[in-house]
Amino acid sequence: MPEGGIFGGVFTRGGPVADDAAWLRTMLAAESALARALERAGLAPPGAGAAVTAAAARPGDFDFAELSRSSALTGNPVPGLARALTRLVPDPAAKTAVHRGATSQDIMDTAAMLLARDAIDAAADSLAGAAAAVARLTDAHRGSLMIGRTLLQQAVPVTFGVVAAGWLAGLDGALDGLASVRETRLAVQFGGAAGTLASLGSSGAAVKSLMASELGLADPPLPWHTERLRIIDVAVAMTRVTAALSKIARDVTLLAQTEIAEVSEGAPAAVGGSSAPRRGGSSAMPNKSNPVAAIAILGCARQAGGLLATLVASAEQDHQRAAGAWHAEWQPFSHLLELAVSAAAWARDLLENLTVDTARMAGNLAAAGGLPMAERVTTLLRDSLGTPQAHDLVATAAARAASSGVPLRDVLLATPDVADKLSQAGISAAEIEQALNPAGYLGAADAFIAAALAAHHAR
C-alpha cells in the first residue's frame, strides 16, 4: 500500500506525520533520550545512552506484526517495543538503560508530543505559504469590486481584497495558535508507575529534566498522566487550523460554482494526452472541473471537530492512570494531526494557484441591476422621509426591479409614484445615479485591508 493508503492523497497530503512508522520513530526517540538522561544522571554506565540510541536508530529492525501482537497482550505497544529494543542493544550493561524507571504511558505521551511538534511544524510551513499567497491576493485586489453575499443572498458590494483580508486574518490566527502551543505546551512525560518515579529514588526529577533537555521539550513541574490539557491544547490548535481553512475552502467552492465563476483553482491539468487524468475531472462527466483542493480541505475539516470532541471526552481519567480513556486518545489524536497537516498542504496549493476573475466579478455585480445598492439609496432618503418610509419605498422599488428584470435605477426614476416621492424629498436623478455607484459604497474596506496586511507583516 502507498503511504496513507488509498485515501492518502486526500487526507495525508502533507505526509503521514502520525502513522505507525512515525509512532515507532518517536517512541524510539523517547526511549533513546531516556537512556541518555539516565547516563547523564549517573544511573547508567558510560556509553549506554549511545548504545541504546544506535539500536533505536534502526527502525527497520523492529517487526510491526510482533509489536501488534504484543499490544494485544499488554494493552499498548511499549512493552513489546522495550523488549525488542533491549534485544538489539549489544552491550549487556547498556541494556539496563532501556526503559528504566519509565512506564508505557511515559513513552507514548512523550512520543505524542514529538509527533505534535513535527505536525505543527509541517502545518505551520504550509500555512505560512498559504498566508503569503493570500497577502498578495489581498493587496492585488484592494479595488476589485464584487457582490457581497450574506445568508447566501446578494448583499452590498465589497472587494475581493477585503474578502481575502478576512482569510488572511484567519490564517494568521491559526499560525499564532500553533506557535503558542509549540512554545508552551509540548512537554516530556516521565512519571513512572504512578507518577512519583519511585524506582529512581531521589534522582527521578533530575532524570525527567535531562530527558526533556535531550528531546527539546519542556520540563513540566510534574508528570501529567491523567491531566490531559496538553493533548487537548494540541488538538484545539490543529482544529483551529482546519476551521480557518474551512472558511476559505467553502468560499472558494461557492465562488467557483458555474453560475458564479468568480474564482477557480489554477492548478494545471495533468500532461500526457487525452487519456491522462486531470485534477478536477469527473468519472462520469467530462465537462466537469471540480475544485478538488477546496473539497479536500473541507473533507479534512469536517472530521476534525468530532476527533476533538473525542479527545475532550477522554480527559475524564481515573486516579493516577486511566483505564481506557488514555487508550481512546491514540487514534483520534493521530488522525487529527494528519488531517490538519493535509488541509494546510492543500490550502497552500489552492491559494498559491487561485485564479481570480475580476471581469466576472464586475459582470455579476452589474447584472444585479443595482439591487446591491438598495441600502445606500435608503440611506440617501432617510433624512427626508424617515427610516421606515425610506426603507419601505426602496423595498417596494427593489421588489419591482427583481420581478421585472428592470434595473433599480429605472424603477426609481421612471415609476411615477416612486419618482414623485423622490422629487418631494428633493432627491435628484444625479444623486440617485451617484448612490447606485458601487465603488462609492465600500466604507472602511480599504482601511480593513491595510490593517490586516500590517498585522500580517508584523508577525
> Quick one: 143 and 262 in the same domain?
yes
Distance (Å, whole) CA 18 – CA 35: 24
pLDDT for residue 287: 54
| Residue 420: band (very low, low, confident or very high) from pLDDT cuts 50, 70, 90 | confident
- Which residues, 6 or more positions from 360, have their beta carbon under 8 angstroms from its beta carbon? 260, 261, 262
Rg (CA), the chain: 30
> Quick one: 347 and 417 in the same domain?
no
CATH number, position 161: 1.20.200.10
> Quick one: 228 and 200 in the same domain?
yes
Whether residue 10 is contained in a domain is answered as: no
CATH number, position 407: 1.10.40
Query: Where do runs of H (alpha helix) occur along 276-415?
Result: 292-313, 330-352, 358-367, 374-385, 387-404, 408-414
Q: Which segments of 105-204 are extended strands (E)? A: 145-150, 153-159
Long-range contacts of 295-298 (CB under 8 A, 24+ apart): 295/249, 295/253, 296/10, 296/11, 296/13, 296/342, 296/343, 296/346, 297/242, 297/245, 297/246, 297/248, 297/249, 297/343, 297/346, 297/347, 297/350, 298/246, 298/249, 298/250, 298/253
Distance (Å, whole) CA 230 – CA 233: 5
Whether residue 455 is contained in a domain is answered as: no
The string of pLDDT tens digits covering residues 352-402 is 999 999 999 999 999 999 999 999 999 888 887 788 988 998 999 999 999
Contact 41, 207 (CB under 8 A): yes
Distance (Å, whole) CA 3 – CA 6: 8
Whether residue 315 is contained in a domain is answered as: yes
What is the separation of C-alpha 88 from the centre of its chain, rounded to a whole number of angstroms? 40
pLDDT for residue 415: 81
Q: Which of 324, 339, 360 is the last residue of a domain?
A: 360
Whether residue 68 is contained in a domain is answered as: no
> Quick one: 250 and 328 in the same domain?
yes
Distance (Å, whole) CA 401 – CA 391: 15
pLDDT for residue 319: 97
CB atoms within 10 A of CB 229: 11
pLDDT for residue 288: 55
Using DSSP's 3-state secondary structure scheme, residue 392 falls into helix
> Quick one: 426 and 332 in the same domain?
no
Whether residue 89 is contained in a domain is answered as: no
Helical packing angle, 104-140 and 445-458, nearest 10°: 140
Contact 31, 114 (CB under 8 A): no
> Quick one: 197 and 336 in the same domain?
yes
> Quick one: 125 and 226 in the same domain?
yes
Average pLDDT over residues 114-142: 98
Active site residues: 282, 321
Cell of 304: 476534525
Count of domains in the chain?
Answer: 2
Whether residue 16 is contained in a domain is answered as: no
Q: Are strands 263-265 and 354-356 parallel, antiparallel or unpaired?
A: antiparallel
> Quick one: 355 and 376 in the same domain?
no
Q: Which of 310, 326, 360 is the last residue of a domain?
A: 360
Contact 279, 289 (CB under 8 A): no
Distance (Å, whole) CA 49 – CA 70: 25
pLDDT for residue 389: 87
The string of pLDDT tens digits covering residues 331-353 is 999 999 999 999 999 999 999 99
Number of DSSP helices (H) and strands (E) in the chain, helices first: 19, 4
Whole-angstrom CA distances from 385 to 172, 372, 421, 422, 433 are 45, 21, 9, 9, 19
pLDDT at 128 over 50: yes
The string of pLDDT tens digits covering residues 271-304 is 445 554 556 654 445 555 789 999 999 999 999 9
Whether residue 155 is contained in a domain is answered as: yes
Average pLDDT over residues 438-459: 96
| Residue 266: band (very low, low, confident or very high) from pLDDT cuts 50, 70, 90 | confident
> Quick one: 259 and 376 in the same domain?
no
The string of pLDDT tens digits covering residues 49-85 is 999 999 999 999 999 999 999 999 999 999 999 999 9
pLDDT for residue 269: 47
Summary mean pLDDT of the chain: 93
Contact 47, 155 (CB under 8 A): no
Average pLDDT over residues 155-177: 98
> Quick one: 335 and 192 in the same domain?
yes
Average pLDDT over residues 229-246: 98
Average pLDDT over residues 223-247: 98
| Residue 2: band (very low, low, confident or very high) from pLDDT cuts 50, 70, 90 | low
> Quick one: 191 and 252 in the same domain?
yes
Whether residue 85 is contained in a domain is answered as: no
pLDDT at 323 over 70: yes
Structural domain range at position 378: 371-435
Query: Where do runs of H (alpha helix) occur along 141-185?
Result: 160-184
| Residue 446: band (very low, low, confident or very high) from pLDDT cuts 50, 70, 90 | very high
Cell of 8: 492518502
Q: What pTM, to 2 d.p., does this model score?
A: 0.92
> Quick one: 350 and 381 in the same domain?
no
pLDDT for residue 278: 55
CA torsion angle for 231, 235, 237, 243 (degrees, to 10)?
-170
Q: Which of 341, 360, 379 is the last residue of a domain?
A: 360
